[in-house]
Chains A and B, each alone.
Chain A
Amino acid sequence: MLDQSRLMENWIGLKTLTRKEVVRVLRIWPQTLVPPVITTTLYYIIFGNIVGSKIDKAGGMGDISYMEFIVPGLVMMAVISNSYANVVSSFFGSKFQRNVEELLVSPLSNAVILLGYMAGGMVRALLVGAAVLIVSLFFTEGLVVSSIWITASVALLTSMLFTIGGFINAMLATKFDDVSIVPTFVLTPLTYLGGVFYSINLLPEFWQNVSRANPIVYMVNAFRYGILKGRLDEKYIDINIVTAYVVIMLFIVVLFSAALHMLNRGVGIRQ
């Protein structure tokens, strides 16, 4: 009975924290939702239309246009950067303003606090991802999602993973500079080199192997597989879909455990 009441208490707390985070995303929509859509639209215009038309004339990506090839990668790029950015800025902001204490003094479990922030980041990432996907319809001749389940699950898992990354970054951050270091010097290079604009099979073997150490390659490829399955030439499928799921889930388990451990120890939030 007691455990049930605690479960209910935590469930209500999780809903409350998720609502708080979603309200934040929607309240500052010109900062959270619009810019990624504009940036990605520019990618569609420059890389898809202008550069892509030349690539298509030179043989393209098999049966699909270059634009269709880069759409999944650009959606993933938006999902990754927005899930990370949302949690890192929201949780660090709470630390900075000290309103994280509202959560720390409450009976909510640390897992619920982590899940609440993750949920907020995932909502933003998926909203942005959906918007970017819808915009792509203006640049493709009717983009068809081949497997809704693979597409949706990869987007969900990827956003989950990077919200945890953002949370860990926010816990360790002591100043605003620390919030932008990882996105600028780690995430952006890994994303650009993660097969968004090209198939890693086009690289020399050495760089193909190096690329396989980049976890973003697995997410971009799995998402591309979900959208273009059956239409994408075999030689442009860089990663086996099962391997991709295993890698993504492994990262989620490891990062979630690390974040929870840090939260239990009060790293960055308790003296």
Chain B
Amino acid sequence: MTRALEIENLTKTYRNGTEALKGIDLNVEAGEFFGLLGPNGAGKSTAIGIVMSLVNKSAGTVRVFGVDTDEDVAGAKRYLGLVPQEFNFNQFEGVRQILDQQAGFYGLPRRLARQRSEHYLKKLELWDKRDTMSRQLSGGMKRRLMIARAMVHEPKLLILDEPTAGVDIEIRRSTWALMQEFNEAGTTVILTTHYLEEAESLCKRIAIINHGRIVEDTDTKDLLSKLQIETFVFDLASPMESVPDLGAYHTRLADPMMLEVDVSKGESLNEIFSALSDQNIQVLSMRNKANRLEELFVQMVQNGDGESSENATGPDGARRGGHA
């Protein structure tokens, strides 16, 4: 089966000398829901920019469904759809106009373009706003407009660059549902995100990029199995003033009603409950803290930080770093 995306030895050195990509290799299978993670300035957006022909590469190969972008860039572009990080539609154009035009740029005849834009505006719940100027939309609606625009030519590979950054949880959840729906309908999805919970719940496979190199590329399950410690959260029936002593377990109070306990791989949870019962601590509910991937990510990025940091500035000279 043809891969949706094959990247070989991709490098990018900006004019100011910054090496944004230092020879990355990446394969995304057709139909996959793939996560590309990395701290700010790690090279995610550069890699996506090169795939989408928005950034000129320095060296390497990019193939989209087997089509080499050096040999047939238009052919490769036809398979691709992009939801960029920043709003980049014309603020003075109407919602429907933006979609109609985008369909036209992909060669869809006007009638088909109009049908498609109607379909996706309805699907993204923007149909009532079709005649509204795009700058008058709310933040969530603008995000949805960008997704509709990316889907209007029905790409086989949809790339979303932090599509849920800065949106409220309701919009985030509805965006997740949409991405899953597109993926289930056969569209390969590549997602970059800062919300690791998002990547953990959506992506079957994850690659982590740091300092322009892929530091991990594996199944999400395999990645998570590398975690040696998991944190469990206990919601307490009554508030506690001090951290209880649970023997070998490392504990802390997130707040007086919430106790967090770190459990090493292979350790039994029964002993925790025994210790809690002995101290007459009533637990109402328990859950796994949803930051497993985040912990792993921070570990990997920190390990990678031991590497050279001379390229820790972006092309605009801004200091890179931070974390997800």
In the docked arrangement, what's the CA distance between A105 and B108, Å?
Answer: 15
Which residue on chain A has the smallest CB distance to residue B80? A105
Report yes or no: B107 in contact with A102, Cβ–Cβ below 8 A. Answer: no
Measured between beta carbons, the chain A residues less than 8 angstroms from B49 are 271
A103 at interface, CB cutoff 8 A: yes
> Which chain A residues lie closer than 8 Å to B97 at the CB level?
20, 23
Knowing A12-B108, A98-B88, A99-B89 touch, does A105 contact B53 (C-beta < 8 A)? Answer: yes
Report yes or no: B106 in contact with A9, Cβ–Cβ below 8 A: yes
Complex CA distance for A266 and B56, rounded to whole angstroms: 8
Q: A97 touching B105 by the CB < 8 A rule?
A: no
Which of B152-197 touch A at CB < 8 Å? none
Residue interface bits B84-118, CB-to-A below 8 A is 1, else 0:
10101111110001001110111111100100000
The residue in chain B whose Cβ has the minimal distance to the Cβ of A28 is B92
Partner of A104, one of B14, B54, B86, B149: B54
Q: Which of B3-11, B71-79, B238-246, B289-297 contacts A (4 or more CB under 8 A)?
A: B71-79
Q: Given A99-B88, A266-B56, A271-B315, does the pair A107, B102 have CB atoms closer than 8 Å? A: no
CB-CB under 8 A from A270, the residues of chain B are 53-56
Q: Tell me the bound Cα distance from A5 to B82 in angstroms.
A: 23
- With a cutoff of 8 Å between Cβ atoms, the chain B residues found around residue A6 in the complex are 74
A102 to B86, CA, bound (A): 13
**Nearest CB in chain A: distance from B145 CB, A:** 12
Consensus secondary structure, chain A interface: helix
Interface size on B, residues (CB 8 A): 36
**B53, B56, B97, B108 pick with most chain A CB within 10 angstroms:** B53
Residues of B within 8 A of A107 (CB): 73-75, 77-78, 105-107
Quick check: is B52 within 8 A (CB to CB) of the other chain? yes
Given the known A-B contacts A105-B77, A107-B74, are A16 and B105 also in contact in the complex, defined by CB atoms under 8 Å? yes
Q: A12-B107, A266-B56, A270-B56 are in contact. Are A106 and B90 (CB under 8 A)?
A: no
Residue A63, interface by CB 8 Å: no
Q: Which residues of B contact A109 (CB under 8 A)?
A: 74
- Assess A271 versus B101: contact at CB under 8 Å? Given A10-B107, A102-B88, A105-B54: no
Q: Which residue of chain A is the closest to B76 with respect to CB atoms?
A: A107
- CA of A9 to CA of B49, assembled, Å: 23
User: Which chain A residue has the least Cβ–Cβ distance from B90?
Assistant: A99
Please give the distance in Å from A2's CB to the nearest CB on chain B: 9
Establish whether residues B55 and A108, one from each chain, have CB atoms under 8 Å apart when the complex forms.
no
Which A residue sits closest to B82, measured CB to CB?
Answer: A105
- Across the interface, do B105 and A103 meet the contact criterion of CB distance under 8 Å? yes
Q: A117-154, CB under 8 A of B: which get 1 and which 0? A: 00000000000000000000000000000000000000
| Complex-state Cα separation, A15 to B74, whole angstroms | 18
Tell me, in angstroms, the Cα distance from A23 to B104 when the chains sit together: 15
Cβ–Cβ contact A97 & B77, under 8 A: no
Q: Are B74 and A102 in contact (CB under 8 A)?
A: no
Chain B residues near A12: list those with CB within 8 A. 104, 107-110
Q: Does A17 contact B (CB under 8 A)?
A: yes
Can you sample 17 A-B contacts with CB below 8 Å? A8-B107, A13-B104, A13-B105, A13-B107, A17-B105, A19-B101, A20-B93, A97-B88, A97-B90, A97-B91, A98-B84, A99-B89, A103-B105, A105-B54, A106-B77, A107-B78, A107-B105
